[in-house]
Amino acid sequence: MSRLVVIRDRTPDLALADAYEVALSTNSKTGVSINVAIARTCRPTKACAEYCYGLVGRLTYDAALAAQARNAAFFAGADKAVLRHEARRVGRAVLKKQNFVRMFGVGDLQLGSVFFTAVLASEFPELSVWVSTRKLDLARQLPLLPNLHVMLSLDATTTRANVVATRVLVLKNKPQFFAAWARGAPSDRIPRWVSVVFEEHKISRRAAWDPERRACPATVRGGAEHEGACERCRFCFDVGRRAEGSPLVQVRRSKT
């Protein structure tokens, strides 16, 4: 039985009545994130269903799965007035801790979270909102805002049609939209227009091969410490940093 099937079986089936607000999560790399249930929201590629870090570790504990399921139920069922109220509450709460937030540490977009994300970014311009998604149909509905950064995820098992559609969307909406590649092997052929490469890794083990030049510094040996890596790097939620070139090169340059 695959890890994805196990997670789908263990994720509680909740309704809006079980989800009165959006739960915030924290982790040592990205800080504050909003997670939703993989089982309710994701359309994984064949490779993603194997390497996804949300299928192992603390993110699979019962309490974590319940929080992810509540958030998914909230975004699936709450009306726009409630979503707007929660976006305002969440924006104020996050800004007390940091000036960026990850959507989604695990999980993916829903219609409700598209609206929530748009409100969050538009009403809190001082907050950088970093969205990670494979759902091009919903990503197209996000507004173009200076503080909203949409990272479209790809890997070696993404269909050719989706790779082409991702490129079209990136070219149309850059620099706010950009592409990321999860690299599972040195043989991966990564398009030149992809901005950042996440070498396959775990918290305690980084990729054994030499890093791709666009690699996320927190995924390679000798790159960057895992704790606080995103706040120090900021490549994925800062247009200026992306314009400066490879995140790995930037981090290594800062050490010299």
Residue 28's nearest CA partner among 132, 98, 119 is 98
Which tokens go with 210? 């030499």
* pLDDT for 246: 85
Cα 85–33–197 angle (5° rounding)? 135
Residue 150's nearest CA partner among 140, 160, 164 is 140
* pLDDT for 1: 60
Q: What is the pTM of this model?
A: 0.95
* pLDDT for 39: 96
Which tokens go with 19? 């989800």
- One-letter amino acid at 78 equals A
* pLDDT for 204: 60
User: Is the bond leading into 104 cis (omega within 30 degrees of zero)?
Assistant: yes
CA dihedral for 78, 60, 194, 228, sign (positive or negative): positive
How many angstroms from the chain centroid is the CA of residue 192?
Answer: 21
Continuous H helices in 59-184: 62-77, 80-95, 111-123, 136-139, 160-173
* pLDDT for 227: 87
- Give the three-class secondary structure for 232: helix
Q: Which positions ≥6 away from 160 have C-beta within 8 Å?
A: none
Question: How many whole angstroms separate alpha carbon 51 and alpha carbon 62?
Answer: 20
* pLDDT for 255: 60
Tens digit of pLDDT for each residue in 171-194? 999 999 999 999 999 999 999 999
Segments in the chain below pLDDT 70 = 1, 201-205, 251-256
Question: How many whole angstroms separate alpha carbon 99 and alpha carbon 124?
Answer: 10
